[in-house]
A and B are shown apart, each in its own frame.
Chain A
Amino acid sequence: MPPARHEPTVAQPSPQQLVAGLRATSEGGDDLVQLLTPEGQRVHHPGFDGHVAEVGPKQLQSLYRDMMLVRRVDREANALQRQGQLGLWVPLLGQEAAQIGAGRAMQARDMAFPSYREHGVAWCRGVDPTELLGIFRGTDHGSWDPRTTGFHLYTIVIANQCLNAVGYAMGQRFEGRVGDSDGEATVCFFGDGATSQGDVHEGFVWAAVYDAPVVFFCQNNQWAISAPLERQTRVPLYRRAQGYGFPGIRVDGNDVLATLAVTRWALDECRAGNGPVLVEALTYRMDAHTTSDDATRYRLADEIEAWKLKDPIERVRVHLVREHGVGPEFFDAVTAESDELAARLRSFCESMPQPGPARVFSRVYAEPSPQVQAQRDEYLAYSASFESGGDR
């Protein structure tokens, strides 16, 4: 009989769990671009300082505010799910710098293709946080207008949006909107798990072949639900770009300044016609995959504790206080604003109207299908035939 094997515990993790944890908490290697250390210290990078030359304390305060507000929205929505107001929430906790840095690097004329965790990017694109609720409350599949916001609808099937983004970027090039600093570009957001999907591979191939002005912005948050990064790849993800013939760069995704600089650089490359570019933003999913997930089943609390020391917001706060003498009035004001936003989100959520049964049949096609119309008419008549007049 083989010796009894012990189930891994927090006290005695399996070797795989240890390795995953070590990788997740590593500093990202020599190639990591960082401009603001976890301790809040501004460090210089000859290649990227120039891309954030104008970012002083005022702009950093603005980025701090963005991150605080989206974190507050995220926590409120998470609570709304726990209280039964939402069916599901997908937390962005820990990824604020990656998303705000990338989102604020974009221009209004650019186009973003999100996955489903990009609440911070949505914020930067001018999508009101209340617009995100319908998907998770079950009243719609995304209510904002991608054409006016430059923010495509959330894509839930992993990696589908990579090809859609590349096609859109091909269109930008075909229309001659690429070639100088006024050019347009597209940013495609996806995660480490998505990199194993064929659509990311095909997206990379198409983008390379057609010189598409697309920034592939991979938020490597270390976990695809329960699968750690080493289940997806042998090589660091940013190095995959080399095999497709375009640059790949790894940035500290918990450093909003570095993410802003690197994404600006990547977008400039695309605008000038040198796209595509892959950016791997090294970050960490501080919460579970979704509110339906139990992350304690597959990862160690120590790992989260280690990442807390690299919190994306705290380092900006420390920097503002220490280096620029920003006082408590500013931080208190941001906290108060975030509480107001959370209250607005909550009251909006609680008063969202219930869609009627006709919504089932609404706009399936641009030119209505007689079949679907007939089913709608029949069902609505059936529904109305109840004594309560359809309010069953």
Chain B
Amino acid sequence: MTTPARNRTETVTMAKALNTGLRAAMETDDKVILMGQDIGKLGGVFRITDGLQKDFGEQRVLDTPLGESGIIGTAIGLALRGFRPVCEIQFDGFVFPGFDQIVSQLAKLHFRSQGKLPMRVVVRIPHGGGIGAVEHHSESPESLFAHVAGLKVVACSNPADAYWMIQQAIASDDPVIFFEAKRRYWEKGPLDTAAQPQPLFTSRVLRPGSAATMVTYGSMVRTTLDAAKAADADLEVIDLRTLSPLDLDSVFDSVRRTGRLVCVSEAPGECSVTAEVAARVQQECFYSLEAPVLRVTGFDTPYPPSKCEEAYLPDLDRVLDAVDRVLAH
């Protein structure tokens, strides 16, 4: 037996980081149980739970029957019993049979009971497109959850965040809807498991800049960072990380300096997280704004057939085009 390495940064995929984070959470607290379809022997369709059932047993990693309402509804009952269930929804577009339990029970029981019944449940949802999938496998429904009072909603965009955020979400006493950018599962990044993580419900400035503020989350963080690298202008990039509650202080600070804001997300823009950011920024930073707030988002259409998804998903060019437009003012 070797002792775990300390202060050693590894390069891992986001999928592996999530797997490692789940393992750490299960080792820390034996009330943590994983529930979902095909998450046991198969390790989940994305292998995020790979090997966990083998090590923790079938009572800690539950291969459930096929029903999302059943997964969420029984997770709520287990949470009432003192467990900390972590539910895996196989794909974004399959969460809706469980939406009733999430909205009617999971989100409301703490308020209904005035704190007597905390809902320590995490619902993991791989979201977003760009993987050439069939219908219902590429959606970005995070705004629907951010709209529901009683839920907390976060989105991880890189391996290190994924590792820490999943553990923090599991340790939270509130229900957390945990979005994982599935097209970024296999992208690698540094992970130092001995580092000190930042609090879960906080945003982070990933790249300082002075010309314009770029606010994004999830899969579009990579795209926006690439755009910032390619742009002539000096762009500040902020990863929201938490979609509900929003942590916008760093955004306000940034916009007061740059006077310009572009929000980037692959979810449809109408009534969305990016719409909320735009509304709040104009309220808080009205006199600092030099240009209208622009948003680069998926369109207000159902997710298209995958051969057209390049047109639907914001890419480097669309982001840079928006940057040009805010800088033209």
User: Is B3 interfacial (CB 8 A cutoff)?
Assistant: no
The SS class assigned to the A binding surface is helix
Segment of A121-129, A195-203, A264-272, A333-341 engaged in the interface with chain B:
A195-203
A102 within 8 A of B: no
Interface check A146, CB cutoff 8 A: yes
Cα distance A175–B82 in the bound complex, in angstroms: 10
* A170 within 8 A of partner (CB): yes
Whether A163 sits at the interface, judged by CB under 8 Å, is yes
Contact A202 B69 (CB under 8 A): yes
In Å, the complex CA distance between A167 and B105 comes to 13
A202 & B172 in contact (Cβ 8 Å cutoff): no
- How distant is the Cα of A367 from the Cα of B168 in the complex, in angstroms? 13
Quick check: A206 and B65 within 8 Å, CB to CB? yes
CB–CB A171/B173 < 8 A:
no
Question: A36 — which chain B residues lie within 8 A by C-beta?
Answer: none
Q: Is B76 an interface residue (CB 8 A)?
A: yes
Total number of B residues with any Cβ neighbor in A under 8 Å: 46
Tell me if A174 counts as interface (CB < 8 A to partner B): yes
Tell me the smallest distance from the CB of B121 to a CB of chain A, in Å: 10
Answer yes or no: B327 CB below 8 A from chain A CBs.
Answer: no
Q: When the two chains form their complex, are residues A367 and B172 in contact, meaning their CB atoms are under 8 A apart?
A: yes
**How long is the Cα–Cα vector from A48 to B289 in the complex, in angstroms?**
78
Are B70 and A365 interface neighbours, CB within 8 A? Answer: no
CA distance A142 to B79 in the complex (A): 19
Complex: A163 Cα to B246 Cα, angstroms: 31
Q: Which interface class (under 10, 10 to 19, 20 to 34, 35 or more) fits A?
A: 35 or more
Chain A residues near B112: list those with CB within 8 A.
141-142, 153
Given A366-B174, A371-B245, the answer on whether A168 and B80 have CB atoms closer than 8 Å is: yes
Q: Which of B59, B73, B244 contacts A202 (CB 8 A)?
A: B73
- 9 sampled A-B residue pairs with Cβ under 8 A: A141-B111, A157-B100, A163-B69, A168-B81, A170-B77, A172-B81, A174-B83, A206-B74, A370-B245
Give 17 A-B pairs besides A166-B77, A174-B78 with Cβ atoms closer than 8 angstroms: A140-B114, A141-B113, A146-B80, A157-B105, A167-B76, A167-B79, A168-B78, A170-B74, A171-B80, A198-B67, A199-B73, A202-B67, A202-B73, A206-B74, A363-B110, A364-B149, A367-B201
Chain A residues with a Cβ under 8 A of chain B: 140-143, 145-147, 152-153, 155, 157, 160, 162-172, 174-175, 198-199, 202-203, 205-206, 209, 362-367, 369-372
